[in-house]
């Protein structure tokens, strides 16, 4: 429980590259699990949203936004899988992976607008308290949200362990933790039942704060992706691997960028100036294979050969 509460308060991104691994991408079971999870979370959000409008509970409204945001994170994955199958052409020479980043921008904007709306509604209700109706329906919707997240968590974890997908297991743990926000709605409903009119909007503000923390992490990830940022540890690992390649005497510029949920790299390596073109080409091929082995999700690498002074 302590770990789940800590995770709830700690920013966690919705970056698609962190949610995909080789086992998930190549498994029909893994893809089916993602879409079934999207359906369950989507239905949960629809049910909660309907009761939130009926009862006027801003805490339930905030939880609805949170569950809808988690459901929407499957959209970049779907776009990545569908468009990623299209071959590169003379106009899109790197393929269609960037569509995933555009989808991420759209989702971040949608979640931000929803969070602002939920926060404004909760603050208004806090300043002007109003009774919350249909408290039993609100409590039931909170339980549905909790049970829906727990079901999705168990499904993702079970499938992830069966196919060996660490990303899917992590996604399941994330869904399990998000179920705690639904339980918070019960606190607001109980407070309203006891006559505490400000209990519901206070819980709504807390949930809105949690959404904003998650949104902050998502904005950071999307911004870094659009600026072609990568983890410096990946660059360090790539440099170490290149220096270990037989025939490489030095490493020059090394650049990486994300194209969708796959990495591409460009590297300059220095070889002996007395090597023939064929021998230097072999060194370049060995360097490319070393990079692909060393860097997770590296799809291709372009290696430029430079020669050391005679």
pLDDT score at 25: 59
Query: Which domains occur in the chain, in start order?
Result: 2-226 (1.20.1510.10), 232-307 (3.30.70.1350)
- Find tokens 């998650």 and name the residue: 214
Backbone angles phi, psi at 202, to 5 degrees: -65, -45
- What is the widest separation between alpha-carbon atoms in the chain? 87
Element (H, E) at 305: strand 298-307
Q: Which of 157, 196, 176 is nearest to 70 (CA)?
A: 176
pTM over 0.85: no
pLDDT score at 71: 74
- Summarised one tens digit per residue, pLDDT across range 180-237 is 778 888 888 888 888 887 888 888 888 888 888 878 877 888 888 889 999 999 999 9
Please tell me the distance from the alpha carbon of residue 107 to that of residue 125, in angstroms, as a whole number.
27
Query: Contact, 204 vs 61, CB < 8 A?
Result: yes
Please tell me the distance from the alpha carbon of residue 194 to that of residue 190, in angstroms, as a whole number.
6
**Would strands 262-271 and 298-307 be described as parallel, antiparallel, or unpaired?**
parallel
Surface-to-core class of residue 270, CB atoms within 10 Å of its CB (0-12 exposed, 13-18 middle, 19+ buried): middle
Backbone angles phi, psi at 306, to 5 degrees: -120, 155
The residue ranges of the chain whose pLDDT is under 50 are: 1, 4-14
pLDDT score at 290: 94
**CA angle, corner 297, sides to 292 and 302, nearest 5?**
45
Please tell me the distance from the alpha carbon of residue 91 to that of residue 57, in angstroms, as a whole number.
50
User: DSSP 3-state assignment of 284?
Assistant: helix
Surface-to-core class of residue 65, CB atoms within 10 Å of its CB (0-12 exposed, 13-18 middle, 19+ buried): buried
Copy the structure tokens of residue 60.
Answer: 């339930």
Q: Which of 310, 294, 23 is nearest to 168 (CA)?
A: 23
């Amino acid at each position: 429980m302590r770990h789940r509460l800590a995770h709830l308060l700690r920013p966690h991104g919705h970056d698609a590259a962190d949610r995909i691994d080789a086992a998930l991408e190549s498994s029909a079971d893994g893809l089916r699990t993602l879409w079934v999870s999207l359906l369950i979370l989507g239905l949960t959000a629809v049910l909660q949203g309907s009761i939130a409008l009926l009862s006027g509970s801003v805490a339930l409204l905030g939880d609805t936004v949170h569950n809808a945001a988690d459901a929407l994170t499957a959209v970049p994955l779907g776009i990545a899988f569908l468009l990623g199958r299209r071959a590169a052409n003379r106009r899109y020479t790197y393929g269609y992976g960037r569509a995933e980043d555009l989808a991420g921008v759209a989702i971040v904007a949608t979640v931000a607008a929803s969070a602002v709306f939920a926060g404004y509604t909760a603050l208004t209700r806090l300043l002007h308290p109003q009774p919350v109706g249909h408290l039993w329906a609100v409590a039931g919707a909170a339980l549905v949200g909790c049970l829906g997240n727990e079901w999705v968590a168990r499904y993702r974890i079970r499938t992830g362990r069966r196919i060996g997908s660490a990303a899917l297991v992590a996604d399941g743990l994330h869904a399990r933790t998000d179920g705690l926000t639904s339980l918070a709605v019960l606190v607001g409903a109980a407070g309203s039942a006891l006559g505490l009119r400000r209990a519901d909007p206070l819980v709504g503000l807390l949930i809105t704060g949690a959404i904003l923390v998650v949104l902050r992490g998502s904005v950071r990830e999307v911004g870094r992706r659009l600026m072609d940022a990568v983890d410096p540890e990946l660059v360090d690992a790539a440099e170490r691997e290149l220096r270990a390649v037989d025939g490489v005497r030095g490493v020059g510029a090394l650049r990486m960028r994300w194209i969708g949920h796959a990495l591409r790299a460009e590297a300059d390596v220095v070889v002996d100036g007395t090597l023939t073109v064929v021998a230097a080409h072999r060194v370049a091929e060995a360097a490319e294979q070393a990079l692909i082995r060393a860097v997770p999700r590296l799809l291709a690498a372009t290696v430029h050969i430079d020669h050391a002074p005679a």
